[in-house]
């Protein structure tokens, strides 16, 4: 067997992730991407409307706790559709700037001092997080007969980790 060098290995792994021709993403990937863009923008809005230092720290800790995993998962979902390299990097860059754009928008809106707009933004933000949590729980219940105990324990463990993370943030900020 021929031993491949480092350059050859990285070339092969890159070729398996990216496609060679431009094509549209599948509907599930496109939908997930758009939802994640909206969610990132709303996270930025939430950060921009927080008025207390402890609230900012809590939100940064909460988002910082799951954002790396979310970004990794989004990249894995993209890889199923084998995007061309330039499109992948544009989409990842747009995803990365959505939260700062949301923060800038919230700061601008808060200067207008329209509390109705801030209330609507806060409601959308909370609703998004509640929806995502309920959606994950519904998937777990829908698959309760098909998943083995290891999968159930994994999902429950991650849920409890998230609850524990948020409780820790609440305790630190109180």
CA angle, 58 then 60 then 66, to 5°: 105
Q: What is the pLDDT of residues 42-74, one digit of tens each?
A: 878 777 777 777 777 777 777 777 777 777 877
Q: Give the CA radius of gyration of the chain.
A: 20
Please name which of 66, 171, 42 lies closest in space to residue 118, comparing C-alpha atoms: 42
- By the 8 A CB rule, do 43 and 99 touch? yes
State how far the Cα of 108 lies from the Cα of 114, in Å rounded to an integer. 10
What does each C-alpha distance from 73 to 65, 67, 69, 102 come to in angstroms?
14, 10, 6, 22
The reply to whether the predicted model has a pTM over 0.75 is no
Q: What is the pLDDT of residues 142-154, one digit of tens each?
A: 877 887 888 778 8
Please name which of 125, 87, 85 lies closest in space to residue 103, comparing C-alpha atoms: 125
């Amino acid at each position: 067997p021929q031993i491949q060098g480092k350059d050859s290995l990285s070339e092969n792994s890159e070729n398996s992730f990216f496609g060679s021709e431009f094509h549209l993403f599948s509907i599930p990937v496109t939908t997930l991407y758009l939802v994640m863009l909206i969610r990132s923008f709303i996270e930025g809005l939430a950060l921009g409307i927080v008025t207390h230092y402890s609230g900012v720290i809590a939100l940064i800790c909460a988002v910082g706790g799951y954002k790396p995993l979310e970004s990794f998962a989004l990249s894995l979902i993209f890889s199923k559709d084998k995007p061309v390299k330039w499109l992948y990097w544009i989409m990842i860059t747009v995803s990365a700037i959505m939260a700062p754009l949301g923060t800038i928008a919230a700061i601008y809106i808060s200067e207008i001092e329209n509390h109705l707009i801030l209330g609507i933004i806060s409601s959308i933000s909370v609703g998004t997080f509640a929806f995502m949590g309920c959606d994950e729980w519904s998937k777990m219940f829908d698959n309760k007969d098909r998943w083995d105990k290891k999968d159930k324990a994994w999902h429950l463990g991650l849920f409890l980790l998230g609850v524990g993370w948020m409780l820790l943030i609440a305790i630190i900020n109180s």
